[in-house]
Amino acid sequence: MMLAQSPSMIGATKWVHDGSWGTKGLYPLQSRVWGKRVGILGLGRIGFEVAKRLAGFNLNIAYSDVSAMSYAPDWTFTPDKISLAEHADFLFVTLASSANTHHIVGVEALDALGPDGMVINISRATNIEEKALLTALENKTVGFAALDVFEGESTLNPRFLALDNVMVQPHHAYGTY
């Protein structure tokens, strides 16, 4: 989702399909991925696999978890979610769902991520305060969200569908052959 959205591949595809390329010219340049800063909230099994793949893009990787992980010596441990969000251009949420992680990404973390930041939730919907995220996306206090999970899925909050700064996927994360 990060690789598709950062250069706006979906937007560029729509640009070609709707004839804008022919009438308006080239699609506006977007953001690169290489060399950016990533924050991974939860460096368990899935977070670790995400980080390994992101390392190939020469990204500055930081993570937050209950403690520093001995298996991640090349990445920066950040003890709290706010510092992690401040660090990140891309904030990946890869936590298990629990009472301790319920709405762990709320207004404060979204504000720390900022208007150029992208939040990517591939964990559980309950880990993100969905109403706060929708408000941040609508107000452009967060630049973009890429989401694979939603509260009340498969029925999405219709506010998501009105936004051009969100990528929605039908909860199929690793669903491949």
Active site residues: 124, 153, 171
Beta bridge partners, 91, equal 39, 119
DSSP 135: H
Amino acid at residue number 2: M
* Distant-in-sequence, close-in-space partners of 172: CB < 8 Å, separation ≥ 6: 148
CA 82 → CA 89, 107, 110, distances in Å? 13, 10, 9
Question: Contact, 50 vs 3, CB < 8 A?
Answer: no
The whole-angstrom separation of Cα 62 and Cα 39 is 5
- Rounded to an integer, what distance in angstroms lies between the CA atom of residue 142 and that of residue 98? 25
Residue 77 exposed, middle or buried by CB count within 10 Å (0-12, 13-18, 19+): middle
